Amino acid sequence: MAEQTIEHVLFVRLDMESGPGMHPKDRTLPFTPVLAAAQLENRGHKTSMIDVPAGGGVPARIVEKVAAHDGPVLIEVQAGKLEHFAEFTQQLKYRNNKTVAAYGFIPTRNPARLLEMNVADYCIAGEGEGIIPAFVDWLRARNEPPPPGVMFMRNGRLTGCPDDSPPGTDDMPFIPAEVLKSNRYHKDSFPLQFAGLRWGFVLANRGCLYRCPFCTGIARQSLLRKYRPCSPARLVDEMHYQVSEAGRNIISIEDDLFTGRREWVIEVLELLEKLPRRIRWIAQTRFDCLDEELIIKMKNAGCAGLSLGMESGSDRILDILGKNTDTQTIRRIGALLLKHGVATRYTVMLGAPGEKARDFALTATLVRRLKPLVVQIYFCTPYTDTVLDPHVADGSLRMAEPQPDISNLSGREMESLRLAFYRSYYLSFNYLRTHFVRLLAYFLLNSRQAVRITTLFISFFLSGRRAGGQTGETHPA
């Protein structure tokens, strides 16, 4: 391709988080294009981003808009979206010298396949926010060799080297205030009782200290799963910036494992408590990375909610899933979270290898005992680079449908168990008595979001009844 002067970089996302579905739909801030764009604009480039609904064909108006763009196009290709990406790029056949690069799960997992399909000129193999700015500069100068993480075909052979030094948060700029002020990104899965929820998003620690065999090291800024904590002061500074400059009143810390290192967390909490203005925030962690002292400190420092992966209430299934924890720990920590009034969202995996109906019955019993504000049940559909998924080699599936060839349960059984549990849990007197005040406050203070979520949830119940439990839900974990 001819050398071109880079002036305007267009990011295209195949949006997996919009549209109707069983669970409250989060629209999480996409860190890769936002952080890459911030760096590019600091270097004098212009950037734009388009979200394309991933369910169904790409609208013709969007194809035309992208085709008319004068500059490189970077398209996100996550698990389950390969067909959408290929269809989209094939419609750009009149792109002449337009440069198309793919980033995300599949370009990192299997760049050769995408390049051999001739649906992209380059693959960004790794964490895009650390690679894309150097890639754009390389396109302008065409120096050899290309920066690490840029893969392409030359004379029929895959060329390039992987990026084995992924960035840390300390290397990244703050999320621009104007991106947050758009209010496009939100966490509907946390119905918190604060007026006019305006969500901010930060990423502090990248990677994870654990090696769950169903989880990938490629998703969510966890390349190679290398754990990379940032400076506590850097995190608190950005949270304060989002509150003071972008008007956020709740911040989601998007780490896979926020409390991985206890001393680091305590330093963050101490800095938060010193701020003149209290900041509310939520985070994600593991049950076995919490204790009562830490829970109390977190709540005193503004923690409004925690998301935790329970996965199962059966010790046998937890062992199979390699969680390295047990139901006794889950029960103990869950009771402490309930005691101290921390809003919780528990995620559960249904259809693990060897799982039977009685295993899920244990899960249901434990959930009812711990009374989380939100529980979300996903089917066990492992990523293609994980121990639990030896048979899906093309990298195209993720949480798409029940996988009866993995567990002892059929697809119909899994869908029916999930639907029956939701009905019995969310409509129970026990649930409503525990969370009535919090839910009422959410409905009164955030009525538009509350009505939208409730409508989608009722729609799911009705569709499940009509279909006999077969819903075809495709929400990602």
Phi-psi region of 83 (alpha: psi -120 to 50; beta: other; left: phi over 0): alpha
pLDDT attached to residue 477 = 27
d(CA 45, CA 136): 9
User: Right CATH number for 8-159 from 3.40.50.280, 3.10.180.10, 3.40.50.1820, 3.40.50.300?
Assistant: 3.40.50.280
Cβ 350 vs Cβ 418: under 8 Å: yes
What is the model's pTM?
A: 0.89
Q: Report residue 211 as tokens.
A: 């090696």
Contacts of 111 (CB under 8 A, 6+ apart): 123, 125, 151, 158, 160
DSSP string, 421-439: HHHHHHTSHHHHHHHHHHH
Residue 128: burial class (beta carbons within 10 Å; 0-12, 13-18, 19+): buried
Residue 113: per-residue pLDDT: 87
Question: Pick from 451, 459, 460, 463: which is nearest to 191 by CA?
Answer: 451
Give start and end residues of each alpha helix (H) in 275-326: 292-300, 315-320
Q: According to the model, what pLDDT value does residue 93 have?
A: 57
Residue with token string 């060897």: 354
Residue 271 is predicted with a pLDDT of: 98
Mean pLDDT in order along the chain per 10 residues (477 residues): 64 66 72 95 92 70 83 84 76 67 88 88 91 91 85 92 81 95 90 91 88 67 71 97 97 93 97 95 96 98 96 95 94 98 95 92 98 92 64 45 75 90 93 93 89 78 50 30
Q: Do 8-159 and 174-466 agree at the fold level?
A: no
Count CB-CB contacts under 10 A for residue 70.
Answer: 10
465 burial level (CB within 10 Å; 0-12, 13-18, 19+): exposed
In the CATH scheme, what is the homologous superfamily, with its name and number, of domain 174-466?
tm_1862 like domain (3.80.30.20)
Q: What integer pLDDT is reported at residue 237 of this predicted model?
A: 97
Domain definitions of the chain by residue range = 8-159, 174-466
Residue 448 corresponds to which tokens in the numbers above? 């538009």
**What pLDDT is recorded for position 78?**
78
With b for 16 or more beta-carbon neighbours within 10 A and e for fewer, the 164-202 pattern comes to eebbbbeebebbeeebbeeeebbbbbbbbbeeebbbbbb
